[in-house]
Amino acid sequence: MTPNSCPLLLKKADVIKRLDLSARALEVMVKAGTFPPPVRMGKFVFWSQLALENWMTRKFGPQEAWRP
């Protein structure tokens, strides 16, 4: 992220839709430390799109690098 850019912020509903998870499953992953914690702003929580993309890269990198 450059100093003049702002990452796209994703609401909880956006994250669970993108990952096809339940809200409870996402909460469990955050509590277990296996998913980035959200940033709270008022009554809402947000994740940056960059944090989600980085998590996906780390999580699925070995699968994508696999060769038969």
**What SS3 state is found at 66?**
coil
Count the domains in the chain.
1
Using one digit for the tens of pLDDT, what is the confidence trace for 22-52?
Answer: 999 999 999 999 999 999 999 999 999 999 9
Note whether residue 14 is domain-resident: yes
**What's the pTM?**
0.81
Position 4 in a domain: no
Is residue 3 situated within a structural domain?
no
Distance CA 36, CA 40 (A): 13
**Regarding beta strands 44-48 and 39-41, do their DSSP bridges make them parallel or antiparallel, or are they unpaired?**
antiparallel
Mean pLDDT of the chain: 92
Q: Does 53 fall in a domain?
A: yes
% of the chain at pLDDT higher than 90: 78
- Spell out a b/e string for 3-21, using b for 16 or more CB atoms within 10 Å of the CB, else e: eeeeeebbeeeebbeeeee
Question: Which pLDDT does position 4 carry in this prediction?
Answer: 65
Q: Residue 3 has what pLDDT?
A: 58
Full domain range(s) for residue 52: 9-65
